[in-house]
Structures are given as structure tokens and as C-alpha cells.
Structure 1
Amino acid sequence: MDLGIAGRTAVVCASTRGLGRACAEELARAGCTVVVNGREQAAAEKAAAEIAAATGAEVIPVGADLDTPDGPDRLLAAVAQVDVLVNNNAGPPFRDFRAIDEQALLAGVRSNMATPIRLVQAVVDGMVERRFGRIVNITSGSVKMPLAGLDLSSGARAGLTGFLAGVARSVAHANVTINFLLPGSFATDRLAAGQKVAAEQQGVTVEEIAADGRATIPARRFGEPAEFGAACAFLCSAQAGFITGQSLLIDGGAYPGVL
């Protein structure tokens, strides 16, 4: 399927690995010029070279920590304009809410709410002027199904969703859409690391932890990053212009609700 975005410029935050990388790869495959971002320039350059080799697209590496004062500006300065923005950032570590001090609280809100909003503020008016823009925010399935221990992540990402819900409606007339992708359990380094910690804490094997996790998912497997990337690319497509302000849960059926 031709997504109708060849020649567009896409900026994908935190895209050297995991779900962000999968999104960058699919947008490159669709013909976009893609800015790949990581905290370290070397990691960004490596990912950019690999994606360019696999897709033939122009891929621009930008090493920048988006939680620093100049990080977002350095990222956006890599290209003349942004047609597609994929907001992504690592979530706060798993911890009891009682252990979250003020510094950790503010850092979590900055990473998962304030920084994405700042990036949207920087690019949305240009999108409106050009009458095309696609903004996808990667949040979490915990926005709909909060989990104890991920309270800061759930709260900050839910705050981002609420903040941008009204913004989405205010720019829809200009063919600018803002949507949210809510991942469940995907086969990423982050999931593997969590399984390793759980196995050590419980005195069992990593495979036992993984098997227990798969058993809670109706699809009986973890998601593949490429599946997530394809969903992101479609939301960024020309054909998705009538979809805005929506939260798409991709979790293999783990969330039991209907809304």
C-alpha cells in the first residue's frame, strides 16, 4: 500500500532501538526522509546507517538528550521542516509510588509529558500553514489499564493524552492529525530487561517469566516491533487524515474493556 508520504520529512524521537526504531524504519520504507534520534551521536549514526542501508531512504542521525534544555532545538534544527513527528521517550523505572521523590516526579513528567508538548508546539504551526502534518505520540497501554509501580509513567502519559486531545481538534481542519499509540508487551530490550529482573527476584528462569507474560495475552505472544512500526506509519499516511485525537491500543487483546 502506498502511504502517500514519500518525500515527507519525519522526526522520530528515541529511535535508535525498540519501538521508536521500528517506526523510523517503516517511515523510511514509505519514502520519508527520517531523522533518527538517540542520546548518543554514535548510536544515532549506527541506527541511521542501518536503516538507510535497508530502505534506501535518506536518514539523518541526531544525538540529543531531549530532556535537556537544548535537546529539542538541536533535534528540530536537523531539517528545514517537519511533516511527521513521532514523540517517544523511555518511561520512568518501575517503583512503588511512595518512593517517588519530587525530583523523580518532575523528571518523569518532563520526559513523558512536557518534552513531547514542547516538540508539538515547535512544529504544529508550520504543519498548519502547509496543510499537512502527522503527529503520533507513543504512550503506553497503562494509560488505559494503569499498573501499580508504573504510576508515574501512567500519570504523565495520561496527562499528555489529555493535553493534546483539545489541540488535535483545533488543527484538524488543516489536515494535521494528532494521535496516540498505546503499546502493550512487545519483544524489545526493555521487556527482556524487565523479565530478567523479575526472574532474579522470583528465583525462576527468564523463560518462565516470559511464558507467564504470554499467558496473560489473548494472542498468546508478545508483539513484534515491526507490527507497531507499521501501525505508526499508517497513522502518518495520507489516507489517515480523518483519524485524529485517537488512542490506538496495540496489546494483543490484553486490555479487557470495550472503550
Structure 2
Amino acid sequence: MDLGLAGRNAIVCASSRGLGRACAQKLAEAGCTVVINGRDRDHLTTVAIEIAESTCAAVIPVVGDVATAEGQAALLEACPAPDILVNNNAGPPFRDFRELDREAILKGLVANMVAAIELTQTVIDGMRARRFGRIVNITSGSVKMPLPGLDLSSGARAGLTAFMAGVARTVAADGVTINALLPGIFETDRLKAMIAATAERRGVAPDAVAAERLATVPARRLGTPEEFGAVCAFLCSTHAGYITGQSLLIDGGAFPGAF
């Protein structure tokens, strides 16, 4: 399917690894010029070369933390007028909520809520003026099904979801859509780290924790970053212009609800 994105400009935050990288890959395959982002310069440069070589697209690496003003400014300097913005950032690690002090709570809110709002504020009027824009917020399945120990991540991402739901309705008439993707259990470095942390805390083998997690997924497998990236690219496409203000859960059927 031609997604109608050839020649579009995209910013994909936190895209040197995992789901963010997969989204950048699929947008590059669709013909976008893609700005990718991470904090490890050498790794980011390698990823940019790999995506460019496999897609023949222009890929621009920008080193920086998207939660900082400096990181956001660097992204927008590389791509002042994006047609697509994919908001993404790593979440806080597993931690009992009693251990969270004010500084940790505010840091989590900035990383997983405030940064996405700030970037959206900056780019949205340009999208409206050009009569085309796609904003995709990568949140988490924990927005709908919170996990103990990920309370800060769940809370910040749920706040972002509610914030953007209202904004989405104010810009839809201008050809701008805002949606969220809620990943369940995907084969990423973050999942491996979470499993390892849980195993250490419980004093069991990581394989046992992984098996327990997998047993909660009706599909009986982990999601792949590639299929997640494909869904993101579709939401950014010309075919998805009538989809806005939605939270799409991609979890292999793990959430036990009809709505």
C-alpha cells in the first residue's frame, strides 16, 4: 500500500532503539525524510546509516534528550517544519511508589508527558497552516491496565493521553490528527531490562518471569518492533486522516475488555 508520505518530513523522538527505531524505519520506507534521535552519538550515527542504506531515504541523526529544551531545539533546527511528529521517550524504571520523591516524580512527568506537549505546541500551527499533520504519541498499554511498579510511567502517559484527546478535536478540521499507540509486551531492550529487574527483586530466573509475562498474552508471542512501526506509519498516512483522538492498543489481546 502506498501510504502517500513520499517527500514528507518526520521527527521520531527516542528512535535509536526499539519501537522508536522501528517507526523511523517504516516512515523512511514510505519515502519520508526522517530525523532520528538518541543520546548515544556513535550508536545513533550507526542507526542512521543503516536506515538510510536500507531505504534510500534521507535520515538525519540528532543527538539530545527530548525532555530538555536543548534537545527539542536541536530536533527542530534539523527539521523546522515537520509533517509528522512521533513523540516517544523511555519510561522510568520499576520502582515502588513509596520510593518516589518529588524530584523523581517531576522528572518522570517531564520525560513522558511534558516533553510531548512542548513539541506539539511548537509544531502544530505549522501543520495546520499546511493543512496536513500527523502526531503519534507512543505511550503504553499500562495506560489502560496499570502495572504495580510502573505507577509513574502509567500516570504520566495517562495524563498525556487525556491532554492530547482534547487538543486533537481542535485541529482535526485543519487536516491534523493526533493519536496514541499503546504497546503491550514487545521484544525490546526495555522489556529485557524490566524482566531482569523483576527477576532480581523476586529472586527467580529471568526465564521464569518472561514465561509468566508471555502467558498473559492470548497471541502467545511477543510483539515485534517491525509490526509496531508499520501501524505507526499507517496512522501517519494519507489513509488515516479520519482517525484522531484515539488510543490504539497493540498487545496481542492481553487487555481483557471489549471497549
Q: Which TM bucket (shorter chain)? A: over 0.9
Instruction: Give structure 1 regions of 4+ aligned residues with deviation exceeding 6 angstroms.
Output: none
Secondary structure of the residue that 1:85 maps to in structure 2? strand
Name 1:223's counterpart in structure 2: 223
Name 1:40's counterpart in structure 2: 40
In structure 1, stretches of 5+ residues that fail to align are none
> Contact between 2:28 and 2:34, CA under 8 Å: does it hold in 1?
yes
CA distance in structure 2 between the partners assigned to 1:173 and 1:165 by the alignment: 15
Measure how far apart 1:231 and its partner are. 0.4
> Contact between 2:3 and 2:30, CA under 8 Å: does it hold in 1?
yes
CA distance in structure 1 between the partners assigned to 2:15 and 2:239 by the alignment: 24
1:204 aligns with 2:210: no
Q: Which moved more, 1:37-46 or 1:118-127?
A: 37-46
Measure how far apart 1:66 and its partner are. 1.4
CA distance in structure 1 between the partners assigned to 2:92 and 2:121 by the alignment: 23
Letter in 2 for 1:133: G
Q: Deviations over 1:29-65 (max 9, x none)?
A: 0000000100132222111111111111100000011
Measure how far apart 1:79 and its partner are. 1.9
> Contact between 2:131 and 2:176, CA under 8 Å: does it hold in 1?
yes
Name 2:128's counterpart in structure 1: 128
> Contact between 1:42 and 1:63, CA under 8 Å: does it hold in 2?
no
Name 2:102's counterpart in structure 1: 102
> Contact between 2:68 and 2:115, CA under 8 Å: does it hold in 1?
no
CA distance in structure 2 between the partners assigned to 1:197 and 1:97 by the alignment: 16
Secondary structure of the residue that 2:78 maps to in structure 1? coil
CA distance in structure 1 between the partners assigned to 2:130 and 2:196 by the alignment: 47
1:162 aligns with 2:162: yes
CA distance in structure 2 between the partners assigned to 1:189 and 1:95 by the alignment: 18
Measure how far apart 1:198 and its partner are. 2.5
CA distance in structure 1 between the partners assigned to 2:124 and 2:18 by the alignment: 26
CA distance in structure 1 between the partners assigned to 2:143 and 2:199 by the alignment: 26
Name 2:115's counterpart in structure 1: 115
TM-score normalised per structure 2: 0.97
1:91 aligns with 2:91: yes
Secondary structure of the residue that 1:70 maps to in structure 2? helix
Letter in 1 for 2:160: L
CA distance in structure 1 between the partners assigned to 2:163 and 2:232 by the alignment: 20
CA distance in structure 2 between the partners assigned to 1:117 and 1:200 by the alignment: 35
CA distance in structure 2 between the partners assigned to 1:201 and 1:103 by the alignment: 24
Provide the aligned length of Structure 1 versus Structure 2: 259
CA distance in structure 2 between the partners assigned to 1:108 and 1:241 by the alignment: 31
Measure how far apart 1:147 and its partner are. 1.3
CA distance in structure 1 between the partners assigned to 2:234 and 2:185 by the alignment: 20
Measure how far apart 1:107 and its partner are. 0.2
Q: Which moved more, 1:61-70 or 1:151-160?
A: 61-70
Letter in 2 for 1:92: P
TM-score normalised per structure 1: 0.97
CA distance 1:202–1:149, change in 2 (3 Å): closer
